[in-house]
């Protein structure tokens, strides 16, 4: 099977507009006869479900949480990009497109990214109309800030809770449709199997997590909006429940998995403090607007950070990347932190941390401005700190509180200690321009697909993609498929394909429950995470990846012999839910290593130690690897398919932020 990305012909700037006006449509009467299943209710899922229901389709939405409002999009902090150019600083759709492609280290699809940049402006309009309380200036206009990898201010935000506000907006739209009877909502349900009939996706098997019952659901199309798989690393900034299961079942049912090894390690997270740790907490990238990252110039310097004088501090990002400084993209900032810590300059008890220091900007940037507003000439340091602290508090108060809560240290007084942590996965199900996987009728939206961020995602772009896909892309592109399905009558869930899919799902559950081993699910997950982090994490090499593959295979075999799942099937049993998810991670982990091993280059978040410049920067191999690696599952092995990437509108060069 060849991969057809189905990118419409024409000039990149008008391609999407033209496509929108020529794509086949479904008339309103027919829409009411068509059923769409949406799995996941984060930004992509909630916005898609709401919008499709507004258009007249019959929608069924599923989420594993107790309410659609709890999807992990809610935890996104910093902001959402849009090429509004409200700041008059030279922003444009093209610039956002360019920044995103470059930020992704030239491994994203041009046409999709341009469309994303085009949709970005409408997203802000839509969210404001819904009542999302974005931050505003005194004049009543919207406020913006900067994020990594860009030189304009195009990030819209709502304090440090932008994801929450955007998701609640989409959720309110979704609930409105639930109230109107256009969406049927299934909370505490997990999709555990795809139903395919004549090669097309026709439904899912979902497990009611409260009763344990398996349910069959038919749909003319199935949309997977199930987020990323960062939890394969056990410790990540993802929610505890975030999982790959729905996407993985789709993959096993024939959908190709694109660039699985492209993982984003976020540079500013609170470091690990103990073995019992269950998750890592992000400190928003927006903090890098005002925080300066440094380590001591001396190795193993045990002095208190406030006792280390200015000239003994190494502001290594500003030193290495003077043009972007502390606002380099995430992959670069993360690697630089790891480099310093590995070289013995790390700080804190574990020595696996660097400082993020607000004192300079607190005093010199905000303190001085405020002092000048108050007509204080020659303010002393104390005054500057006092005045600057108020501004910092207003901008980042909730993040500072969160930091203090977790570490018991006051970041207004002492620099934050931060270290990179797994945050986002650029890889995901392979999709074409319509966001359809290679299985007809099955779509993947948001983080669950691979398409827009290449090998590294820029900050404030995930929210943008999720909402673009849900509000503005899928409502148009799905017509291309469903317009041909108007004669398909709803298929009875007694159809043999449903029966077979349910049996397969049931067999898997029975198998897990009959192991009766001795080790907890959690312990396997933790062990898998360690393998992944050490050998398929921020830096990878051939030897390590090969070892990892063997170790994962062994761990998986052990899992099916020794795992202990308490309780029974037909009840609320979170351990069983977790077991199913970890079983899928144990397969995905192997594929990620295989993909990382295959890609003999360094690009974005994928850093192969063998392929770096003398200065330690990622060295791409455009000649051999400028493609999307789309993996087809063949039982225990995988077959690689390649989608060549063509750059017709952007000149490819070595990514430089110096």
Closer Cβ to other proteins, 284 or 438, answer by number: 284
Task: Report residue 585 as tokens.
Answer: 């991670």
28 is a contact residue toward other proteins (CB under 8 A): no
| Residue 128 CB, nearest approach to other proteins (Å) | 4
Q: Which of 95, 109, 292, 330 is catalytic?
A: 330
Q: How many residues bind other proteins (CB under 8 A)?
A: 84
Q: How many CA atoms lie within 13 A of 90 on its CB side?
A: 5
Instruction: Write the CA distances from 479 to 15, 370, 473, integer angstroms.
Output: 17, 54, 11
By CB under 8 A, the residues from 72 to 101 that bind other proteins are 72, 74-75, 84, 86
| Residue 403 CB, nearest approach to other proteins (Å) | 11
405 is a contact residue toward other proteins (CB under 8 A): yes
Strand order in 214-218's β-sheet?
A: 189-197, 200-208, 214-218
Q: Is-contact 379 371, C-beta < 8 A? A: yes
User: H helices then E strands: how many in the chain?
Assistant: 19, 21
Give which of 651, 591, 102, 616 is closest to 334, Cα–Cα.
616
259 is a contact residue toward other proteins (CB under 8 A): no
Q: Which of 30, 33, 151, 172 binds other proteins (CB under 8 A)?
A: 172
Select the span of 199-207, 332-340, 507-515, 569-577 touching other proteins (CB under 8 A).
Answer: 569-577
Select the span of 88-96, 158-166, 412-420, 610-618 touching other proteins (CB under 8 A).
Answer: 158-166
**H-helix or E-strand containing 347?**
none
276 is a contact residue toward other proteins (CB under 8 A): yes
Closer Cβ to other proteins, 110 or 285, answer by number: 285
Cα distance between residue 301 and residue 295, in whole Å: 9
Q: Which of 99, 175, 447, 617 binds other proteins (CB under 8 A)?
A: 175
Q: Which of 2, 28, 29, 274 binds other proteins (CB under 8 A)?
A: 274
By CB under 8 A, the residues from 183 to 202 that bind other proteins are 185, 187
Q: Which of 27, 566, 616, 640 binds other proteins (CB under 8 A)?
A: 566
Q: Which of 81, 164, 425, 438 binds other proteins (CB under 8 A)?
A: 164
Cα distance between residue 160 and residue 3, in whole Å: 40
Long-range pairs, 247-250, Cβ under 8 A, ≥24: 247/428, 247/429, 247/444, 247/448, 248/584, 248/587, 248/588, 249/191, 249/192, 249/193, 249/194, 249/584, 250/194, 250/201, 250/224, 250/429, 250/437, 250/439, 250/442, 250/444
| Residue 610 CB, nearest approach to other proteins (Å) | 36
653 is a contact residue toward other proteins (CB under 8 A): no
Alpha helices per DSSP H over 85-235: 93-103, 110-130, 162-179
Closer Cβ to other proteins, 65 or 259, answer by number: 65
Select the span of 279-287, 429-437, 457-465, 604-612 touching other proteins (CB under 8 A).
Answer: 279-287
Q: Which of 475, 488, 513, 622 binds other proteins (CB under 8 A)?
A: 475
| Residue 189 CB, nearest approach to other proteins (Å) | 12
Q: Is 330 among the catalytic positions?
A: yes
Closer Cβ to other proteins, 560 or 572, answer by number: 572
Q: Is-contact 448 225, C-beta < 8 A? A: yes
Q: Which of 44, 113, 152, 159 binds other proteins (CB under 8 A)?
A: 159
Give which of 211, 4, 64 is closest to 628, Cα–Cα.
4
Select the span of 318-326, 413-421, 520-528, 648-656 touching other proteins (CB under 8 A).
Answer: 520-528
| Residue 540 CB, nearest approach to other proteins (Å) | 28
Closer Cβ to other proteins, 66 or 639, answer by number: 66
2 is a contact residue toward other proteins (CB under 8 A): no
Q: Which of 21, 29, 90, 179 binds other proteins (CB under 8 A)?
A: 179
| Cβ partners under 8 Å of residue 564, min gap 6 | 515, 516, 517, 518, 519, 520, 521
Q: Where are the beta strands (DSSP E) in 199-346?
A: 200-208, 214-218, 221-224, 257-258, 263-269, 292-296, 313-314
Kindly state the DSSP code that residue 366 receives in the 8-state scheme.
Answer: I
By CB under 8 A, the residues from 202 to 231 that bind other proteins are 210
Please provide residue 379's backbone torsions phi and psi, each rounded to the nearest 5 degrees. -65, 145
Binding mask 319-338 for other proteins (x = CB under 8 A): --------------------
Task: Provide the residue count of the chain.
Answer: 658
Instruction: Write the CA distances from 26 to 32, 53, 56, 57, integer angstroms.
Output: 10, 13, 10, 10
Binding mask 98-137 for other proteins (x = CB under 8 A): ------------------------x-xxxxxxxxxxxxxx
Q: Which of 401, 409, 485, 622 binds other proteins (CB under 8 A)?
A: 401
414 is a contact residue toward other proteins (CB under 8 A): no
Catalytic residues: 330
């Amino acid at each position: 099977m060849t991969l057809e990305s189905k990118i419409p012909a024409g000039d990149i700037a008008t391609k999407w507009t033209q496509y929108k006006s020529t794509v086949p449509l479904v008339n309103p009467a027919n829409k009411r006869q068509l059923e769409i299943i949406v799995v996941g209710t984060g930004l992509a899922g909630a916005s898609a479900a709401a919008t499709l229901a507004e258009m007249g389709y019959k929608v069924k939405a599923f989420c594993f949480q107790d309410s659609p409002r709890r999807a992990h999009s809610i935890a996104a902090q910093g902001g959402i990009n849009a090429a509004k150019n409200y700041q008059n600083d030279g922003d444009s759709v093209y610039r956002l497109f360019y920044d995103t492609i470059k930020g992704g280290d030239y491994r994203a699809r041009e046409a999709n990214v341009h469309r994303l940049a085009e949709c970005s402006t409408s997203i802000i309009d839509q969210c404001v109309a819904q009542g999302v309380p974005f931050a505003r200036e005194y004049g009543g206009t919207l406020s913006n800030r900067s994020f990594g990898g860009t030189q304009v201010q195009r990030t819209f935000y709502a304090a440090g809770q932008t994801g929450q506000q955007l998701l609640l907006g989409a959720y309110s739209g979704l609930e409105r449709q639930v109230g109107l009877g256009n969406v049927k909502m299934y909370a505490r349900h997990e999709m555990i199997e795809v139903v395919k009939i004549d090669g097309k996706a026709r439904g899912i098997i979902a497990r009611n997590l409260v009763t344990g019952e398996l349910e069959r659901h038919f749909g003319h199309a199935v949309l997977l909006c199930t987020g990323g798989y960062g939890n394969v690393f056990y410790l990540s900034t993802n929610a505890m429940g975030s999982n790959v299961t729905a996407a993985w079942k789709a993959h096993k049912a024939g959908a190709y998995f694109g660039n699985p090894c492209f993982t984003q390690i976020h540079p500013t997270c609170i470091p690990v403090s103990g073995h019992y740790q269950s998750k890592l907490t992000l400190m928003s990238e927006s903090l890098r607007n005002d925080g300066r990252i440094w380590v001591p110039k001396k190795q193993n310097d045990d002095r208190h950070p406030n006792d280390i004088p200015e000239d003994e501090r190494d502001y290594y990002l500003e030193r290495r990347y003077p043009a972007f400084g502390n606002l380099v993209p995430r992959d670069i900032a993360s690697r630089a932190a790891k480099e310093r810590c590995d070289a013995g300059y790390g700080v804190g008890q574990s020595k696996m941390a660097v400082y993020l220091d607000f004192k300079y900007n607190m005093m010199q940037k905000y303190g001085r401005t405020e002092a000048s507003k108050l007509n204080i000439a020659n303010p002393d340091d104390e005054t500057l700190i006092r005045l600057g602290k108020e501004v910092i508090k207003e901008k980042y108060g909730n993040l500072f509180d969160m930091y203090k809560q977790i570490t018991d240290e006051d970041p207004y007084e002492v620099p934050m200690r931060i270290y990179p942590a797994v945050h986002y996965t650029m890889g995901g199900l392979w999709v074409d321009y319509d966001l359809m996987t290679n299985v007809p009728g099955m779509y993947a939206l948001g983080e669950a697909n691979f398409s827009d961020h290449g090998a590294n995602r820029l900050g404030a772009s995930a929210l943008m993609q999720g909402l673009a896909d849900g509000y503005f892309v899928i409502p148009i592109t799905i017509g291309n498929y469903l317009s041909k399905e108007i004669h398909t009558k709803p298929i009875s869930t007694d159809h043999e394909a449903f029966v077979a899919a349910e049996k397969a799902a049931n067999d898997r559950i029975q198998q897990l429950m009959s192991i009766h081993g001795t080790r907890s699910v959690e312990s396997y997950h933790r062990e898998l995470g360690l393998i992944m982090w050490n050998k398929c994490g921020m830096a990878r090499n051939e030897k390590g990846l090969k070892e990892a593959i063997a170790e994962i295979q062994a761990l998986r075999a052990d899992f099916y012999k020794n795992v202990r799942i308490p309780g029974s099937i037909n009840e609320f049993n979170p351990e069983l839910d977790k077991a199913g998810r970890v079983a899928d991670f144990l397969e995905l982990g192997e594929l990620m290593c295989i993909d990382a091993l295959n890609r003999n280059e360094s690009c974005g978040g994928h850093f192969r130690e063998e392929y770096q410049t003398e200065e330690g920067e990622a060295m791409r191999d455009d000649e051999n690897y400028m493609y999307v690696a789309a993996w087809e599952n063949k039982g225990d092995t995988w077959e690689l398919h390649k989608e060549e990437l063509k750059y017709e509108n952007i000149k490819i060069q070595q990514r430089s932020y110096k």
